Structure 1
Amino acid sequence: MMIFEAISNSLLKAKNRIVMAPMTRSRTTQPGDVPNDMMATYYKQRANAGIVVTEGAPISAVGRGYSMTPGIYTQAHIEGWKKATKAIHDEGSKTFIQLWHVGRRSHSSISGSQPLAPSAIKVPDQVFGPLEDGFGMIETEQPKAMSLQDIEDTIADFVQAAKNAMEAGFDGVEIHAAHGYLFDTFMRLVSNQRDDQYGGSQENRMRFMLETLKAVADEIGSDKVAVRVSPHVIEGFADEDTDIVDMMLKALEKMAKMNLAYVHFSENISRHIEVPESFRQQVRAVYPNPIMVAGKLTKESAHLLLKNKYADLVAFGTPYVTNPDLVARFKNDWPLAQFDADARLTLYGGGEEGYIDYPEYRA
């Protein structure tokens, strides 16, 4: 099957086309949100994937939206991530770190400051944060509209985070522009009511994401830069945006010229719209470079995406939580350990239980 074949082109090389998708697990060492040995073990166990994309790493304190997530903005973060990159590389896999600014999906008790957004618009939403007796889901806070200086500072933070990632040994960075986080809210009419060069027209609303991609690519090389988008997902929004799909196709035309490592489509999670085949055809018509797709894929549906040339890489999230040996299970048609209610209880926070204690399959 194509899913097990290596990918090798001018932009990207990996031992197979299976990707471990990014998933927040909140297992860092405190204080400081520092990646640790347990996290390195977690990623090493799952480095049968051709590429491991890490959980989202906040690029700054103000970009943080979930407690205990591993940063990439201090030297301690860099040194901690070196353990994970070495563990993954020792297994022959590549790894991209997901660079994260959550935008309005935060609270000052997590980030230390008022959340930032294109416009001062709040919707009902919850994130993983501090409670009186531990951690749990808390309501997000009213955001403030970003100034032009805030935008300039944020681009600089992404560039510095990418440089830090290179020092930590990553093969590349994936900029998170999906799921109602910062860049996604700039692109959607329902959350962006600006009247400057970052609001209004489609060209203006995609500007922040494209300027950030270019700045990061200029710093570390475009073949080391990827982006995650979710035009068919409504997570983080009260209402559907009827403009986002058309705008994304136009943004992809511009991104095609950047020669990025890949564009990652997140689908079929939270509140979402089914992705029509016509969209995949439109994407391929304007975007010839590597495409990754994630979202409740099976081995069979992933293979079909590859066979139809709608994707070059296929990513799996929750199956990797309970199946550290996912590639071997796929190759041998072994049953998958299910992601069930017990697995959900240990998804965020905690120790080794429900994190690195899932066994490999025994035939």
Structure 2
Amino acid sequence: MTVAEANQETKTNTLFEPAQLGSWDLTNRVAMAPMSRFRADPKTWVPADYTAEYYGQRNTCGMLITEATQMSPDAVGYPRSPGLYNAEQTEVWKGIVDAIHAGGAKAVVQLWHTGRISHAYNRPTDNPHPMGPSPIKPVTEMITDEHGMVEIPTPREMTKDDIKYVVDMYAETARNAKAAGFDGIEIHAANGYLIDQFCASNINKRTDEYGGSYENRLRFLREIIETVATVYDKGNIGVRFSPYGTFNDVHEEDPLALFTAQVKQSEASGVGYVHVIRPEVTGDNDVAEAFDHADVIGVARDLYSGVIIAAGQYTRETAEQEIASGRADIVAFGRPFVSNPDLISRMKAGTELAQLNRDTLYIPGRAGYIDYPEA
């Protein structure tokens, strides 16, 4: 019997029923997906003073995963993305976590390092070159506040000391997250950022123990999981993957084989959940062009016995089907939460959803951030 078949025999779940994740009792099976909004201070990477209001408006989901958050100064890729690597940032996050908890949601911070997808104009460091697993230049450009779109330079190849430093900083930032009151950590291993760069065969050309085989390419992620687990129970740690994703110039030779290895490692490591982005969605949450790919949610369910969070262009109806089938335990919604802070009550009532204003997704300020009305 597969894991999915066992789940189907024992579960008759719906989207708005409680769920168990690690030591948490979730009020429902809806997660707010991590979404960058770029409202932090451009010099200090401290979240804006109205960020608590933004998350507080959306705190009736069972689980709220924050926007991707830097775990060190060199991790910064984009302008105005928040950090959690110093005391000032941590203090502000405390108020944000309180606002999330006020509605009954569990608060999870997504930690990332952008790796080679970065530019010195956006980083609080003197080194002009971002770093990555190998010195392979991205094709994509980087947005900056003062210079517009700029070409990303060739990254320097990370030394083993660099790798150790980044791994250690994940533990340090996890301690800050604990101090801020976060219930758990999501490790961002998707969408062509540093961990995904180590996993990707077209970006990682290393010949040491961090390159080559799937086991070696996944070693960096494995070490990060183990160091975060010195701070948080593994049941309260999750990992996000984007199988078949091509965002930020990822082109994996055999995406199904890589994803299979990633899920198997997640099972072996004992993390509490895997968060899987369906290939129907690109890295910036737009709908991807149709192409042939495996049923990644089904693959994950057959290989992984923990909690599965499914993400990617779900409606209430398709989310209900995914939950009822036992394939997924939680469904994450992204942009519907942006324009519908009361998404849970709207879905329960069958109320029409408000449309998103894409022009205000990434600009600084309150407009398009905390001014969407409830139904």
Confirm whether residue 131 of structure 1 aligns to residue 143 of structure 2. Answer: no
Following superposition of structure 1 onto structure 2, how do residues 337-348 of structure 1 map, counting pairs within 5 Å?
337-339=354-356, 343-348=357-362
Distance 2:172 2:191 in 1: 23
Residue of 8, 19, 38 corresponding to 2:31: 19
Contact 1:187/1:244 (8 A) holds in 2: no
Label 1:216 to 1:348 Cα distance change in 2 as closer, same or farther (>3 A). Answer: same
Residue of 242, 246, 249 corresponding to 1:237: 249
Confirm whether residue 298 of structure 1 aligns to residue 310 of structure 2. Answer: no
User: Where in structure 2 are there 5+ consecutive unaligned residues?
Assistant: 1-12, 283-287
Q: Which secondary structure state, in structure 2, belongs to the residue aligned with residue 62 of structure 1?
A: helix
Following superposition of structure 1 onto structure 2, how do residues 31-110 of structure 1 map, counting pairs within 5 Å?
31-110=43-122
Q: Which secondary structure state, in structure 2, belongs to the residue aligned with residue 174 of structure 1?
A: strand
Task: Tell me the residue number matched to 1:246.
Answer: 257
Confirm whether residue 116 of structure 1 aligns to residue 131 of structure 2. Answer: yes
TM-score (norm 2): 0.90
Residue of 300, 322, 339 corresponding to 1:322: 339
Task: Tell me the residue number matched to 1:188.
Answer: 200
Measured after TM superposition, the shift of residue 10 of structure 1 is 4.2
After superposition, give the CA deviation of every residue in 1:250-291 in whole Å (9 maximum; x if it has no partner). Answer: 232222133322111123322577585644333222101001
Q: Which secondary structure state, in structure 1, belongs to the residue aligned with residue 231 of structure 2?
A: helix
User: Where in structure 1 are there 5+ consecutive unaligned residues?
Assistant: none
Distance 1:272 1:32 in 2: 38
Measured after TM superposition, the shift of residue 22 of structure 1 is 0.7
Label 1:147 to 1:269 Cα distance change in 2 as closer, same or farther (>3 A). Answer: same
Distance 2:290 2:117 in 1: 21
Measured after TM superposition, the shift of residue 12 of structure 1 is 4.1
Distance 1:275 1:153 in 2: 39
Distance 1:293 1:9 in 2: 14
After superposition, give the CA deviation of every residue in 1:195-229 in whole Å (9 maximum; x if it has no partner). Answer: 00000111101110111111111332212211111
Following superposition of structure 1 onto structure 2, how do residues 126-275 of structure 1 map, counting pairs within 5 Å?
126-132=141-147, 136-237=148-249, 240-267=251-278, 268-270=280-282, 271=288
TM-score (norm 1): 0.93
Q: Which secondary structure state, in structure 2, belongs to the residue aligned with residue 54 of structure 1?
A: strand
Residue of 308, 325, 332 corresponding to 2:325: 308
- Supply the RMSD in Å over aligned alpha carbons: 1.7
Label 1:218 to 1:61 Cα distance change in 2 as closer, same or farther (>3 A). Answer: same
Q: Which secondary structure state, in structure 1, belongs to the residue aligned with residue 31 of structure 2?
A: strand
Contact 1:35/1:80 (8 A) holds in 2: yes
Distance 2:18 2:292 in 1: 26
Task: Tell me the residue number matched to 2:6.
Answer: none
Label 1:189 to 1:31 Cα distance change in 2 as closer, same or farther (>3 A). Answer: closer
Label 1:277 to 1:302 Cα distance change in 2 as closer, same or farther (>3 A). Answer: farther
Distance 2:342 2:71 in 1: 30
Contact 2:63/2:107 (8 A) holds in 1: yes
Measured after TM superposition, the shift of residue 323 of structure 1 is 0.5
After superposition, give the CA deviation of every residue in 1:277-312 in whole Å (9 maximum; x if it has no partner). Answer: 644333222101001111111111111211222211
Distance 1:46 1:137 in 2: 32
Q: Which secondary structure state, in structure 2, belongs to the residue aligned with residue 297 of structure 1?
A: coil
Contact 2:297/2:310 (8 A) holds in 1: no
Distance 2:291 2:276 in 1: 13
